[in-house]
Amino acid sequence: MKKRSFLTCTVIALAALASSAVHAQTTSIKFQLDWRFEGPSALFLTTAAKGYFKDAKLDVSIDAGNGSGGTVTRVASGAYDMGLADLAALMEFHANNPDAPNKPIAVMMVYNDTPASVMALKKSGIKTPADLSGKKLGAPVFDAGRRAFPIFAKANAVTGVQWTAMDPPLRETMLVRGDVDAITGFTFTSLLNLEARGIKAEDVVVMPYPDFGVKLYGNAIIVSPKLLKENPAAVKAFLLAFTKGTKEVLANPAAAIADVKARDGIINVDLETRRLKLAIDTVINSPNARAEGFGQVSAPRMALMASQVSDAFNTKTRINADTVWNGSFLPSKAELAILPKK
């Protein structure tokens, strides 16, 4: 009896040691999105739900965000290890905080094109960028499209614009009420928000920045330099797992929304499915993304963006694209070949 008890205790002890060893090999990563749990967040939530992070020995917690600027700041502060943020916001942080000890670095492009656009109602008579001169535009002060509007304006000779600021939930409402002539925002956000306020898509004029001479990149995965230095293998594992998850989302966007619903039970499934599909078509599986490769960037285009953002954002120092981007942690080109041909 004593022998059996001893064997039982030994087995339990060995199992505990094995569990402890596995736990010790698992890396915890705190990740913050750029925005709420909406359609596009399925890229990360489905990766987690499919167990790809877990298979890579990563314990990833995913939190909603409230804007790219906030995500950049929180990764810089150490509150988060990684995040999804607009590349222009990251560039601005680098240029305005040259002495900051923990400046995040972009390691993977997710939105190869900026999702920003100018939107107006057809009844306003606005049809082209030229029609925006002298008009009243509205957007939150931190909106990516508003921040980059000087680049759009320069490319399209738009002058004399007056800006009205508002909280994000009021942006589309103020356009519908006629308080502003046009708004800036992410196409897949504001267009669907306008529909939710009773405006038909065919009654909206949409001027996507990429279609009007603005070749900015959009959102990228950013990482704390501390994590890059202390555990580069974990960063590589995260990006490979994310690539696998994204492939699943691209293949079946409708199914992926279930993973978003699991995190936020009050979402409108049909609306968020459309939002995700719109994001895929316009900025994830775009012509530029297929030309450059998912997750990757073009060095000349990156350098041009750094120069344009320096000017448009009036940064304290000029942006050095080489210090903002590091593509050496990406999966192989073969592993990144996940974009479906159109």
Q: Which positions ≥6 away from 284 have C-beta within 8 Å?
A: 110, 111, 112, 246, 250, 294, 339
Strands 116-121 and 136-138, by their bridges, are unpaired
Q: Which positions ≥6 away from 239 have C-beta within 8 Å?
A: 107, 108, 221, 295, 329, 330, 331
pLDDT (tens digit, 0 to 9) for every residue of the chain, 342 residues total? 455 555 555 555 555 544 444 445 899 999 999 999 999 999 999 999 999 999 999 999 999 999 899 999 999 999 999 999 999 999 999 999 999 999 999 999 999 999 999 999 999 999 999 999 999 999 999 899 999 999 999 999 999 999 999 999 999 999 999 999 999 999 999 999 999 899 999 999 999 999 999 999 999 999 999 999 999 999 999 999 999 999 999 999 999 999 999 999 999 999 999 999 999 999 999 999 999 999 999 999 999 999 999 999 999 999 999 999 999 999 999 999 999 987
pLDDT digits (tens, 9 = 90+) for 230-254: 999 999 999 999 999 999 999 999 9
Residue 334 has a pLDDT of: 97
Residue 252 has a pLDDT of: 97
- Helix 232-251 to helix 253-263 angle, to the nearest 10 degrees? 120
Residue 341 has a pLDDT of: 84
Residue 22 has a pLDDT of: 43
Residue 292 CB-density burial (10 A; 0-12 exposed, 13-18 middle, 19+ buried): middle
pLDDT digits (tens, 9 = 90+) for 47-91: 999 999 999 999 999 999 998 999 999 999 999 999 999 999 999
**3-state SS class at 175:** helix
Residue 169 identity (one-letter amino acid)? P
- Helix 299-312 to helix 149-156 angle, to the nearest 10 degrees? 100
Residue 247 has a pLDDT of: 98
Residue 135 CA to residue 133 CA, distance in Å, equals 5
Cβ pair 82, 105 in contact under 8 A? no
Q: Which domains does the chain have, with CATH numbers?
A: 25-113+217-336 (3.40.190.10), 116-212 (3.40.190.10)
- Helix 253-263 to helix 42-49 angle, to the nearest 10 degrees? 80
Backbone φ/ψ region at 157: left (φ over 0), alpha (ψ -120 to 50), beta? left
Assigned token pair, 148: 């980059």
